[in-house]
Amino acid sequence: MTSFWGFMFHQLTFRPKPLSPDVRLDGKTAIVTGSNVGLGFEAASELAAHGLSRLVLAVRSEPKGEEAKSKIAAASPACDIRVWPLDQEDVASVVAFAERARAQLDRLDIACLNAGLKRLEFSQSPKTRHEAHVQINHLGTALLSLLLLEPLRRTARETGAPSRMSITASSVAFFIAPTETLTAVPEGHDGSLLKWLDDPASFGTAGSDKRYSLSKLLNVLWMRALAAHVDGKEVVINTFNPGYCRSEFHRVDPSAERISHWIAWSTEQGAWHITDAAVRHPGSHGKYLSEQRIRPFSKFVISPEGKATQEKVWDETLELFRKEVEGIDLSEFE
């Protein structure tokens, strides 16, 4: 179900489960972005608790990352935990992070791309001038997903087992009417969807969470396009819905805060969806998971219009990276 009432039904009746005690991650390395608090922190903690050998906490604030490291290390002292800065508003930071991963990690088995933001007013990222949700939730995640393919593939070839990449989406990706913003670009934007999304006129009414929902739809469309270009025998790429959870993430949205006491899962329960998507479901390449199982995409996503929008998002995103990311090699996708 991808309707609001479907969301409510699953939110009130489904009970998320942690990884089975039988799951062992000994010898493996994982990166979790947005991992100093909330779902990312809890997911990183669970991975470490299952024997993970090396954990990279990718965070905007290194002091907060060090606090998270101390808490995880207290429960999982055998795990080698590293705190690396990552600011998805800054292209140079994303590139530097990926270069560090390629240079310093002898293997990378799991990448949980979880960093994101939610705002109710239009704002631009200072360094790129792109709308903040588009920059952080879509462009930052998309760029990192491309740049981490090399260490993920290398590990798969060396170990003989596919590596994993999971992108945090949300069921709200399917609540919005894409025709409102995605499929009808007004004149004056050269027909570019991304240019239109950088225009304050595209944002809609202040106080609405529609742009956050749209950014999650961009995550879904990007994942589908990326998975179509990557061999699932080397890297299993999926996206998932962590459900509605109590988290600092919703602190900017009073309406979300009000209903959290009634229907929200705990932060830990939401994080179990991250680890579930990243460790289980070997057949989930190019798929969407919700309630810890593979679920169908919305009608729009699989429609001819949705597929055309997916191709447009893919093409425009790669073209933007060619212009804004110095030295990036995207030749394999041409």
Active-site residue set: 170, 212, 216
Distance CA 146, CA 143 (A): 5
Please provide the size of the chain in residues. 334
Q: For residue 17, which of 313, 273, 302 has the smallest C-alpha distance? A: 273
> What pairs with residue 83 in β-bridges?
57
Q: Which helix (H) or strand (E) holds 70?
A: helix 62-75
* In contact, 65 and 91? CB cutoff 8 Å: no
Count CA atoms closer than 13 A to 318's CA, side-chain side.
16
Q: Which amino acid is at 40?
A: G
* In contact, 119 and 173? CB cutoff 8 Å: no
Count the Cβ atoms, other than its own, within 10 Å of residue 266: 13
Q: For residue 89, which of 134, 58, 57 has the smallest C-alpha distance? A: 134
Distance CA 284, CA 101 (A): 25
Q: How far is CA 226 from CA 10, 73, 218, 310, in A?
A: 28, 34, 12, 10
CA 231: distance to chain centroid? 19
In the numeric block, which tokens belong to residue 125?
């990222």
In the numeric block, which tokens belong to residue 261?
């006491």
